[in-house]
């Protein structure tokens, strides 16, 4: 934790206009946490079941990626394609590259087994639009078989302006462009080369071309009504202060969301940044940049930097259940639209109940007079559904909420090694869990053993198992009201927490 130093930021208020959503995070609604009241019905219809474009949806709906796009037309200093595309994935090899035919078979099998899977994304392992034939063949074939699945693309943007017509032809409603800079001098530190007009272009010239193509592509998509999300990799010392400028420029051009992600950089990844010791940001550094962008383009904070062959809810990976070998053994897969629609109707009811519970909890928090100015972070153990429903020992990812008298807002997630390894708790991973949620005052869990409970208490993080099965926001606000009362009565002394560590490198333990 010694190397985690807070950065100083120049806070700029982005100019208004351009964004096709209402309000920014500095206003009543917040970015991807927006609901139907915050945007036109046609836009809400596009985002409500998309786990990346709606924070609320990500508790209920899954996405999958098919790795049909191996080639790339640029080089990023944070990428080594023996690993996944860092634009859209955590480090880890893509297990299998697929042909479009194999990809479609896989999507149909996954959609049949996982009715909550609503979106198919193509996010590498190279660049979706550097492989246009494979990408659009996949979409064309899938539309014929599973017309209710939303199509999504992630790209570096270099080829984008040439392919906007194709994107619209296949009704791709969601496009992510990774934009790390709007200043080519900064870009030259991130991109050593691009492949452009049949030749390799380097340095500032390369970054200038890439920047111009990204801006043009974004403007063209906005003009055609395609929702765009901008991914930016936060690279401390290179573009940390610059991302406020990126946020402002993409908002001007109509970006729907801005997703600022931490650089993942370790020597074993074999990337330029990994080998030169470029570090990623701490949790506080990431949040500071995201907070400094509030008021500009709406922010996404729930990205999991998933693999180019990820399957499942964000934060879980079920790709191993659908390898080509296993698909061969799945006979008579039937695409059951009715089953999918029944699931989605059930989720709609659950979301209404969740919203009602949150509003009620917010009203109670606002009515409480004690310690009204407190704001704390709370970690939550959940396995989905927007509820506190996971055992502490089984967690591989905590969700983190910022809670005050006026809000319970998702602000990020923290990956951890699973504490419980085969029945008994293992003390080995506990220090890394504590480092991951060290900025939190409490951790809400379904259950927790005596040993980790004591150690968390000693570290100043209160373990709470009184809200089992409750909706997260209601639980977080319920605990917070109790905490405020204890602070007001003098039963506890409120103390600021420290910084937390964002997980880098490989896991030592994965969920069973």
- The contact set with ligand SF4 (CB under 6 A) reads 72, 74-76, 79, 81, 85-87, 124, 126-127, 156
| Binding test (CB under 6 A) with ligand CLF, winner from 59, 65, 279, 474 | 65
Strands 150-155, 407-415: pairing is unpaired
CA distance readout (Å), 4 to 127, 402, 498, 501? 33, 20, 10, 8
Query: From edge to edge, which strands make up the β-sheet containing 299-300?
Result: 299-300, 257-262, 227-234, 174-178, 150-155, 117-122, 62-65, 311-313
Say how many residues touch ligand CLF, by CB under 6 A: 18
- Please, what is the minimum distance in Å from the beta carbon of residue 92 to ligand SF4? 14
Q: Does 121 contact ligand CLF by CB under 6 A?
A: yes
Choose among ligand SF4, ligand CLF, none what residue 74 binds, the Cβ cut-off being 5 to 8 Å by kind.
ligand SF4
Q: Is there binding between residue 283 and ligand CLF (CB under 6 A)?
A: no
Cα–Cα dist 49/37, whole Å: 16
**Which of ligand CLF, ligand SF4, none sits in contact with 55, Cβ below 5 to 8 A by type?**
none
Instruction: Tell me the CA distances in angstroms from 510 to 309, 395, 399, 428, 507, one per residue in order.
Output: 17, 9, 17, 14, 7
Cβ at position 109, least distance to ligand CLF in Å: 18
**In this structure, what token pair is assigned to residue 420?**
């419980």
Per-residue string for binding with ligand CLF, 28-57, x by CB under 6 A? Answer: ------------------------x-----
Residue of 111, 186, 294, 314 that binds ligand CLF (CB under 6 A): 314
Asked whether position 413 contacts ligand CLF by CB under 6 A, the answer is no
What residue 156 binds from ligand SF4, ligand CLF, none (CB within 5 to 8 A, per partner kind)?
ligand SF4
| The one segment of 8-16, 298-306, 458-466, 475-483 that binds ligand CLF by CB under 6 A | 298-306
Question: Would you say 79 or 306 has its CB closer to ligand SF4?
Answer: 79
Question: Binds 126, which of ligand SF4, ligand CLF, none (CB < 5 to 8 A, cut-off by type)?
Answer: ligand SF4
Rounded distance, CA 209 to CA 482, Å? 55
Query: Which strands sit side by side in the sheet containing 193-196, from one edge to the other?
Result: 74-75, 193-196, 199-202
Answer yes or no: are the C-beta atoms of 397 and 315 closer than 8 Å: yes
Shortest Cβ 158–ligand SF4 spacing (Å)? 8
**Structure-token pair, residue 282:** 């701490």
| Residue 303 touches which of ligand CLF, ligand SF4, none (Cβ within 5-8 Å per kind) | ligand CLF
Residue 450 tokens read as 């005596």
Q: How far is it, in rounded angstroms, from Cα 139 to Cα 505?
A: 33
Q: Select the residue interacting with ligand CLF from 228, 305, 382, 501 (CB under 6 A).
A: 305
* Assigned token pair, 231: 């991914």
The residue among 65 and 105 lying less far from ligand CLF, judged by its C-beta, is 65
CB 251 within 8 A of CB 198: no
Q: For tokens 């500071």, name the residue.
A: 288
Beta strands, E only, 235-310: 257-262, 299-300
Q: Which of residues 215-254 bind ligand CLF (CB under 6 A)?
A: 229
Q: Does 154 bind ligand CLF (CB under 6 A)?
A: yes
| Position of minimal CB gap to ligand SF4 | 79
**Least distance to ligand CLF, CB of residue 122, Å:** 7
Cα 1 from Cα 8, distance rounded (Å)? 18
* Closer of 91 and 463 to ligand SF4 (Cβ): 91
Q: Which residues, at least 6 apart from 452, have a Cβ–Cβ distance to it below 8 Å?
A: 392, 393, 419, 425, 430, 433, 463
By CB under 6 A, tell whether 211 contacts ligand CLF.
no
Helix (H, G, I), strand (E, B) or coil at 188: coil
Applying CB under 6 A, does 88 fall inside the site for ligand CLF? Answer: yes
Q: Is the Cβ of residue 55 or residue 127 nearer to ligand SF4 in the bound state? A: 127
313 in contact with ligand CLF (CB under 6 A): no
Q: Under DSSP, is residue 2 helix (H, G, I), strand (E, B) or coil?
A: coil
- Residue 81 or 150: the one with the smaller Cβ distance to ligand SF4 is 81
CB neighbour class for 438 (10 Å; exposed up to 12, middle 13-18, buried from 19): buried
CB of 464 to ligand SF4, least distance (A): 39
Distance (Å) of CA 502 to CA 108, 134, 284, 384, 435: 35, 35, 9, 21, 9
Positions that interact with ligand CLF (CB under 6 A): 52, 63, 65, 88, 119, 121, 123, 152, 154, 174, 176, 229, 259, 303-306, 314
């Amino acid at each position: 934790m010694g190397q985690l130093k807070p950065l100083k930021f120049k806070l700029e208020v982005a100019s208004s206009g351009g964004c096709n959503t209402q309000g920014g995070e500095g206003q009543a609604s917040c970015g991807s946490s927006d609901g139907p009241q915050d945007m036109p019905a046609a836009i809400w219809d596009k985002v409500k079941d998309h786990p990346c474009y709606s924070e609320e949806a990500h508790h209920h709906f899954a996405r999958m990626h098919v790795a049909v796009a191996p080639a790339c037309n640029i080089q990023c200093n944070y990428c080594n394609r023996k690993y996944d595309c860092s634009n859209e994935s955590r480090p880890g090899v893509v297990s299998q590259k697929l042909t479009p035919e194999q990809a479609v078979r896989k999507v149909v099998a996954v959609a049949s087994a996982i009715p909550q899977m609503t979106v198919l994304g193509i996010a590498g392992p190279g660049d979706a639009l550097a492989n246009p034939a494979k990408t659009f063949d996949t979409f064309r074939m899938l539309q014929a078989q599973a017309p209710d699945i939303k199509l999504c693309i992630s790209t570096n943007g270099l080829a984008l302006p040439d392919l906007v017509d194709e994107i619209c032809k296949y009704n791709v409603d969601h496009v992510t462009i990774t934009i790390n800079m709007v200043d080519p001098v900064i870009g030259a530190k991130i991109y050593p080369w691009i492949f452009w007009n049949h030749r390799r272009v380097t340095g500032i010239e390369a970054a200038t071309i890439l920047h111009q193509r990204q801006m043009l592509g974004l403007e063209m998509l906005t003009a055609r009504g395609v929702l765009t999300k901008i991914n930016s990799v936060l690279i401390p010392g290179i573009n940390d202060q610059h991302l406020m400028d990126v946020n402002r420029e993409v908002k001007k051009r109509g970006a729907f969301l801005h997703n600022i992600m931490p650089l993942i950089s370790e020597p074993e990844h074999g990337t330029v940044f990994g080998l030169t010791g470029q570090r990623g940001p701490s949790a506080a550094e990431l949040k500071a940049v995201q907070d400094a962008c509030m008021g500009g383009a709406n922010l996404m904070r729930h990205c999991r930097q998933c693999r180019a062959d990820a399957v499942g809810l964000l934060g879980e990976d079920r790709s191993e259940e659908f390898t080509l070998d296993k698909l061969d053994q799945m006979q008579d897969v039937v695409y059951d639209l009715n089953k999918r629609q029944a699931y989605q109707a059930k989720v709609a009811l659950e979301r209404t109940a969740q919203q009602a519970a949150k509003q009620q909890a917010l009203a109670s928090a606002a009515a409480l007079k004690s310690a009204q100015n407190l704001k704390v972070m709370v970690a939550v153990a959940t396995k989905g559904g927007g509820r506190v429903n996971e055992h502490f020992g089984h967690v591989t990812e905590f969700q983190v909420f910022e809670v005050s008298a006026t809000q319970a807002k998702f602000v990020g997630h923290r990956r951890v090694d699973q504490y419980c390894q085969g029945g008994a708790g293992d003390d080995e991973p506990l220090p890394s869990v504590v480092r991951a949620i060290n900025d939190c005052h409490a951790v809400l869990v379904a259950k927790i053993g005596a040993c980790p409970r004591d150690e968390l208490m000693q570290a100043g993080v209160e373990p709470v198992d009184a809200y089992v099965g409750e909706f997260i926001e209601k639980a977080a606000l319920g605990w917070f009201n109790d905490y405020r009362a204890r602070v007001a009565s003098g039963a506890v002394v409120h103390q600021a927490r420290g910084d937390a560590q964002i997980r880098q490198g490989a896991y030592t333990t994965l969920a069973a």
